[in-house]
Structure 1
Amino acid sequence: MPARTDNRVVIDAPFETVWDLTNDVASWPSLFTEYASAEILAENPDSVRFRLTTVPDPDGSVWSWVSERFPDKENRSVTAHRIETGPFDYLRLRWDYREVAGGVELRWRQEFQVRPGSPFDDAAMTERLNRTSGEQMQHIKAVIESRVTSGGHA
């Protein structure tokens, strides 16, 4: 049975702004606090393959992996998966965008299974992903809302 997370945030900004900023993978280091770099490896109208590298964690470890995203603006969703799975047997993500009172609800769902022998299990990773997703979503919300109010991207 796969492990799952499901997190949401409402961003007070127009859909186009939220979509454009959250799907500009190359700019993710300015949108997320956990990424030091995002390198685009391949891009076409239907997908983007990229390498993310994290900032050092409290232990000084830096993590890097390749993922691929498939944005579907018409259906206001993005599916993604890790190509280099690291400690996971697999990790699949889905982002959904829905206009609601107060802005755009951004919903992240992750489905994964931790590889046997990893230093943590599905439950520990679920707790970590729920915590860090919430932190990152709040940061993304603040960055986008700040840009909208300052006229940086509306």
Structure 2
Amino acid sequence: MPAQDIRHTDHRILVSAPAETLYRLVADVGGWPHLFTPTVHAERVDGDDRRERIRIWAFANGEVRTWTSLRELDPAARRVEFRQEVSQAPVASMTGNWTMNPAADGRTEVVLGHSFAAVGDSAPDLAWIDRAVDRNSRSELACLQEIAERHPGLDELLLSFEDTVLVRGPRAEAYEFIRRCELWPERLPHVARLELTEPADGIQQMVMDTRAPDGTTHTTESVRVCLPDRIVYKQTVLPPVMAAHTGAWTFEETAEGVAATSHHTVVLRAEAVPALLGPDATLEQARAAVRAALGANSRTTLEHARALVESGEGPKTGPGSGPGR
């Protein structure tokens, strides 16, 4: 049997930041969605800070793909090795590593290496994977450089918060209200238009026009992953003041009812704050304004979900829909 055609690539970048800072950013896979442009959602499935299994949803050549990887983390060597455990066609296998090497001039050289093969050794599929790896690697290294070089001020730019509404009704119906976002223009006062496509089971891509209190509208685009216990999302077209916006809708059953919660994580663009709030505006004011605007829309959505579910006229689940989808 002929040997499988395995392609090897390395991508490199010099970053004006300590190797330890870069290692921590790469090691924290849960932070990848608001760090790396291609990553929609990433999470640790099991393991610890030395060996872990992770699952990732990310863009590859414009398509949202998902895979499961095993990672070995070595903080002393500032190195992370990975191997895809469950790949998605056309990828047959994928391994690689991140290394952070201090350079002589005080900067750090970050090397992202990949070794991969295509299903059936298909030349067109191997070329497709090569393009995806090249595009994503260049994007991820550029994002890593941008975040790391402004890392001392990152805490001021990063904003995370949540809002919860208690729904006294079936959890599945609260979930369905959020999943059936194509109905939001009929159900929510702040949604003027929403276009939904579902390129794969559990993957939603949406274009939404949101109406502000002053009557103006702005357009955002998002990708959502509908998991059995929650719906996670990433905005891919953002308002100018945001560099990244990710979030989740979760539904926890309690003794009093279902705690439906909207979670947000935002990275602000400091340079865009004056245009939003005026030339003398501070980052703290921008954080408060973004928190108020996003929180108001989330609470409105959750309150409308609560009212519909508790009225007994909430969305019904059926085969192929709902939390078990």
Write the letter of the residue equivalent to 1:70: V
Contact map agreement 1:113 1:122 (CA 8 A) in 2: no
Matched, 1:63 2:218: yes
CA distance in structure 2 between the aligned counterparts of 1:151 and 1:72, rounded to whole angstroms: 20
Residue in 2 that maps onto 1:77: 230
Question: Aligned partner of 2:301: which letter?
Answer: Q
Distance 1:131 1:112 in 2: 15
- CA separation in 1, counterparts of 2:239 and 2:174? 29
Per-residue CA deviation, residues 81-129 of structure 1 (Å, 9 max, x unaligned), is 1010222100000111111123211111100022222314223211332
Structure 2: gaps of 5 or more residues: 1-154, 278-285, 318-325
What TM-score, normalized by structure 1, do the two folds share? 0.84
The change in CA–CA distance for 1:144 and 1:29 in structure 2 (over 3 A counts) is farther
TM superposition score normalised by structure 2: 0.42
User: 1:57-94 CA deviation, whole Å, 9 max, x = no partner?
Assistant: 34331111110110111xx1111010102221000001
Structure number with the bigger relative contact order (C-alpha 8 A, sep ≥ 6) is 1
Equivalent position amino acid for 1:62 in 2: T
Judge conservation of contact 2:309–2:315 (CA < 8 Å) in 1: no
SS at match of 2:165: strand
Secondary structure (helix, strand or coil) at the match of 1:93 reads: strand
Question: 1:139 is aligned with what amino acid?
Answer: H
Change (3 A) 1:11 1:30: farther
Please say which of residues 7-16 and 41-50 is displaced more in the overlay: 41-50
* Aligned-pair CA distance for 1:138: 1.8
Amino acid at match of 1:17: E
> Could you tell me the percent identity over the aligned residues?
19
Say whether the 8 Å CA contact 1:5–1:129 is kept in structure 2.
no
- Tell me if 1:29 matches 2:188: no
Deviations 1:33-66 (A, max 9, x none): 21012101343213100101123x3433111111
The yes-or-no answer on 1:143 pairing with 2:308 is yes
Rg larger in 1 or in 2? Answer: 2
SS in 2 for 1:83: strand
- Structure 1 residues 16 and 42 mapped into 2: Cα distance closer, same or farther (>3 Å)? closer
Q: 1:11·1:145 contact (CA, 8 Å) conserved in 2?
A: yes
Distance 1:129 1:96, change over 3 A: same
CA contact (8 A) 1:3 1:123 kept: no
Which sections of structure 1, spanning at least 5 residues, go unmatched?
A: none
Deviating beyond 4 angstroms after TM superposition, the runs of 4 or more aligned structure 1 residues are: none
Does the aligned pair in 1 maintain the 2:185–2:192 contact within 8 Å? yes
